[in-house]
Homo-oligomer: A and B are copies of this chain.
Amino acid sequence: MEFKRLTPYKDALSMVINDIQEVGEEKIKLEDAAGRVLAEDIVASFDLPPFDRSAVDGYAIRAEDTFQAREYSPIELEVIEEVPAGASPSMEITPGKAIKVLTGAKIPKGANAVIMQEMVKRENNKIYVLRPVAPGQNIAFAGEDVKKGEIVLKKGSILRAQDLAMLKALGIRKVSVKKRPRVGIIITGSELVDEPDEEAFRSGKIVETNSIMLINLVERYFGEPIFYGVTPDEEEEIREKIERAKEECDLVLVTGGSAFGDKDYAHKFVNLLFHGTTIKPGRPIGYGERVFIMSGYPVAVFVQFHLFVKHALAKMVGAKNYEIKVKAIIEEDVPSQLGRYEFIKVYYEEGRAKVVKKKGSGIISSLVRSNGYLTIPEDSEGHRRGEEVWITLY
């Protein structure tokens, strides 16, 4: 038995995305929020900086007082206060007066500029200004970073170090993020063993590698992996595990059993929206009822993850910009079969992409030696060497 019909990739992906529901949200501490996805727009509840502050160590003054200053005829100003670090000025600037401030200090009333301390001569409580100072100089004005009411971070942002700094600056200590979707991972196959010992070699077993790969991919793309172990090709056991994982998880990944071999049970236990697509490699994939029935081959699993599961997880958490796409010159011809949506592994470096040549779903080394992929849709015959292509990095 073969696939009666291969669903075109984009159609299959749409069926998945339309079926997938977003997960709920939770409020967590900023310290734990790196890499999480914002569940709400963040609006500034006050200006940043909250008041005009000095950008340098120096003297707060009225710029007008310095307009006549020249090297040969300095202007003298009286220093009426010295504000220590972390304190505020208590005096007000009037004509002819100056207040010493440190970087970050509040600008005293009446001042409209700060002159750097390196630019003046100080003698006792006098400073001598040699050049005119422009109004606003060395002042960080209230709201110049962020205005009250401004949206600083949008729902769907993946939080990075600098975003967390911004949230902290705005007085936010807990933030609403999307929950990590619980992703059940079920590996099937009687031929699978955990270690490649002599016995395994003699009896023709295969070392199971999909679990560690999927656990790490799921973690990287917003999910919490829950591993249900390796199941031999026993119809009842597979059925039970899928049922249990569906109850306990938001999404379930089953590897093995997606084709039509005598022992390919998994696809029988789920009402699939599609089964078999035009992607190459990785054609035998099915999806339905929040369950992906995936191939048993590591390379096919990896491709199916990037072409389907990654996008499903991003939809579940509402993540934006979760892929890095770069332009590259392709270094050789990439012919492609019409009717196939091809996933071509490449090694990208500084604007150039080399095709990683070894083919075959079992060739893990091709994944190790690549760092991204390009795709060629069903209606394209591929690319010529030297053409510019889009690479998605992984």
Contact = CB atoms under 8 A, between A and B. Distances in A.
Number of copies: 2
Contacts of A49: 206, 362
Size category, A interface: 35 or more
A273 interface: no
Contact of A145 (B166, B326, B358): B358
Contact of A195 (B173, B192, B350, B367): B173
Nearest to A370: B162
Interface stretch (A7-15, A65-73, A209-217): A209-217
B233 A162 contact: no
Interface string A169-181: 1110100000000
A302 interface: yes
Contacts of A1: 118
B102 A191 contact: yes
The majority secondary structure among interface residues of chain A is loop
Nearest to A147: B365
Interface stretch (A85-93, A126-134, A331-339): A85-93
A164 interface: yes
A102 B261 contact: yes
A123 interface: no
A351 interface: yes
B165 A262 contact: no
Given A51-B204, A145-B360, A161-B214, 9 more contacts: A2-B118, A49-B362, A50-B201, A162-B368, A164-B212, A165-B210, A165-B364, A166-B367, A169-B298
Interface of A: 1-2, 30-31, 34, 46, 48-51, 53, 55, 57, 84-89, 102-106, 117-118, 140, 144-146, 152-153, 160-166, 168-171, 173, 189-192, 195-197, 201-210, 212-217, 219-220, 232-233, 259, 261-263, 296, 298, 302, 321, 324-328, 350-351, 358, 360-365, 367-368, 371, 390, 393-394
